[in-house]
Structure 1
Amino acid sequence: MRLRTRRAGVIAVAAGAAVVAIGATVMATAADPVAPEIVSATPAEAGHETEGKYTAGDYVLNVHELNGDGEGMGTTIGPHTAYYSKTLHGTASWTPVVIKFSVGRDSDAPTVFAYPVPGPGKGVDCVASGTEAAPLVRCETKVSSRP
């Protein structure tokens, strides 16, 4: 009986440690939700080299270009619509560092995907797919098509 009690105690401690480890991983992921930058081999569309291109899927897509303090510009894009942002690299007084996406009619909805703003002279092409309940956003940094 004593052996069973010890074994149950060891199993409980191991299970607890596993839950803590999984929780720490989830919290670490939530603390840094910005996806790594992906550079595309395909150049940006002519005339849109330094812009952000955001294409919504079957749902409303909210795009927020934000600086390090979380301040910035946002736009709501209707289903099956493409939007070009000329403010991807900011203005004289504001410089964004991240692009965050949410879905639905509420522009303050939780972020479903985030991507770093590419360096100067580069654009970004982001496409939303999936469903509103299970959105998928994929972004690629685009280089200039000019030599």
Structure 2
Amino acid sequence: MKFTAKRIVVSGAVAGVAVVAAGATVIATAADPVSPEVVSAVPAEAGHENEGKYTTGDYVLDVHELDDDGEGLTTAIGPHTSYYSKTLHGTGNRQHTVVKFSAGVDGPVFFTYPVPAPGRVVDCVASGTEAAPQVRCETRLPAG
């Protein structure tokens, strides 16, 4: 292969773009971004105000309700189960600000969602597999 100035410049530019793209991926992953809140027009189920509802798929789902310091509660929910959390908005003087999800016992966090304002609930449904988990959350207004 004959090296020309044009080939060297093009090869260098392609390599530079690859390095920048890889760096952006690492930064985005390390930042652990919180997914945007999705507000649903469907009201919460009556009798479950201020609660979180988590429905699991084919795997154990760890739900971490945490405050700004990363402190809070973790609940492991078995496959094909719906769980209502009465601690969504925190306990005592600890106010939870985020819900993080991991698949399997002690798996890495794969999805993060903001805790809605008091009086609102969050309804999250897990799908996929433990190897490729997915969660979809919606903030719902109080019933009635």
TM-score (norm 1): 0.90
Other-structure match for 2:94: 94
The 3-state SS of whatever aligns with 1:9 is: helix
Q: Distance in 1 between the 2:97 and 2:16 partners? A: 36
C-alpha contact 1:49 1:142 (8 A) present in aligned 2: no
Root mean square deviation of aligned Cα: 1.6
Partner deviation per Cα, 1:121-145 (whole Å, 9 max, x = no partner): 1000000001111111000001011
Does the 8 A contact of 1:96 with 1:117 survive in 2?
yes
TM-score (norm 2): 0.92
The answer to whether residue 27 in structure 2 is matched with residue 47 in structure 1 is no
Provide the residue aligned with 1:145 in structure 2: 143
Q: Give the letter aligned to residue 18 of structure 1.
A: V
After TM superposition, what 4+ stretches of structure 1 lie above 3 angstroms from structure 2?
Answer: none
Gaps of 5+ in 2: none
Q: Distance in 1 between matches of 2:102 and 2:120?
A: 23
- Indicate whether 1:61 and 2:61 are aligned: yes
Residue pair 1:37, 1:116 contacting (<8 A) in 2 also = yes
Which secondary structure state, in structure 2, belongs to the residue aligned with residue 112 of structure 1? strand
Distance in 2 (alpha carbons) for counterparts of 1:78 and 1:29: 30
CA contact (8 A) 1:58 1:80 kept: yes
Once residues 102 and 17 of structure 1 are traced to their aligned partners in structure 2, the CA distance between those partners, rounded to angstroms, is 34
Q: Which amino acid aligns with 2:79?
A: P
Q: 1:59-138 counterparts in 2 under 5 A?
A: 59-104=59-104, 106=105, 108-138=106-136
Cα deviation, 1:25-55, whole Å, max 9, x if unaligned, reads 3134220421100000100000112100001
2:7 aligned partner: 8
Aligned to 1:33: 33
